[in-house]
Amino acid sequence: TMASTSSPQASSSSSSSGSSIDYSAFLVPQLKAACKARGLKVGGTKSDLIDRLEGREIPSSTGRKRTHGDAGGSLSSGGGGVDLSWAGEVDKADMDTLNLSKLRKELAKNVKEFHKMVDDDWHDGYEEQGEALTGYLDEFAVVFKAIYTVAVVKGVGFQYCSEVLVVLADFLDQLASVPARGNDDTVSMYEVEVDRTREGKTESLLGPDAYLSTMWGLIVTSAMAHGAPQNVIDAIMMDMTSFHDYGEYDDFESSDPVLRPHVSKFNELLANTSAPYRALPSRKKQYKEKRVIDRRFSGPKHRRTRDYDP
């Protein structure tokens, strides 16, 4: 069973404003995105953000009461207000793999490295660049295995695991902004193995739409199976639909005896275009295409890849 501290409890805060969304379980980045979309300030505490979204005046910070189940302490891992007390229930190796702060830094370094590779030799370096992309994507299987162990096998940390998927999806969007030769094909044709241990199978999934949607489906159905409150489900659904149009894909399936009873409910929620979570702003960022130079002919002569006479 899921520990009672594994996810924030649903609050009644939405009733005061007539909103159908309960923001109390949302991550700070999600709340800031919602405030920004509504033209509201994005500074302050988690409670300040929720108050703005629900149309309440924010009193002076002096003597301010903390409400909405604010997390008691910050998350150095970057979880944005999600309780990590469940972390003691999982292996240290899995928590290290899912460390958001470490993951963000590593992926940012990969994007910077990849951009430099492409800018250094856009035309002739495509094989090396393809190998680099494959190396980055190889790590996804390791992260997915840890997510499966935490969210499905242990039945904890659902929202935290969803945030890890958001970070991975954003990383893919950043890579796509680098105009490498064959970049799109390498990513879209890459297969990631998802080890679904409790179903007795390892599934090879082709491309980001397939493997990210499958992982989110596993997280949400496990959250439903373990009685996570609706505000947590809404927050994860917001993450999912920020990055993919699920209307284009087949229904999620699972033979897992724990998850199977919740699969139809999950698919219905995906198909419901008027579900409350669909009114929330997307978390997907838009990246401008990065600038690279064809150094066969352009740029400083000492960096050119072809020996043309001046």
pLDDT digits (tens, 9 = 90+) for 209-267: 889 999 999 999 999 999 998 888 988 998 998 887 654 556 889 999 999 999 999 99
Res 79: pLDDT:
42
- In angstroms, the CA 289 to CA 175 distance is 10
Asked which of 147-151, 238-242, 274-278 is least confident by mean pLDDT, the reply is 274-278
Higher pLDDT, 25 or 96: 96
Res 60: pLDDT:
44
Q: What's the pLDDT band for 174 if we cut at 50, 70, 90?
A: very high
Asked which of 57-61, 97-101, 244-248 is least confident by mean pLDDT, the reply is 57-61
Strand runs (DSSP E) across 70-127, as ranges?
none
> Which one, of 243, 219, 244, 214, lies nearest residue 232 by Cα?
219
Res 164: pLDDT:
95
Q: Which residues pair with 195 in a beta bridge?
A: 202
- In angstroms, the CA 31 to CA 71 distance is 14
Q: What's the pLDDT band for 123 if we cut at 50, 70, 90?
A: confident
What is the average per-residue pLDDT within 72-101?
Answer: 70
- In angstroms, the CA 83 to CA 104 distance is 19
Q: Is the pLDDT of residue 6 over 80?
A: no
Res 142: pLDDT:
93
Res 4: pLDDT:
34
Res 15: pLDDT:
36
What is the average per-residue pLDDT within 72-90?
Answer: 57
Q: Is the pLDDT of residue 31 over 80?
A: yes
Mean pLDDT of the chain, nearest integer: 80
CB environment 156-192: b (16+ within 10 A), e (fewer): bbbbbbbbbbbbbbbbbebbbebebbebeebbeebeb
- What backbone phi and psi angles, to 5 degrees, belong to 191? -95, 135
Q: Which residues pair with 196 in a beta bridge?
A: 201
- In angstroms, the CA 155 to CA 204 distance is 23
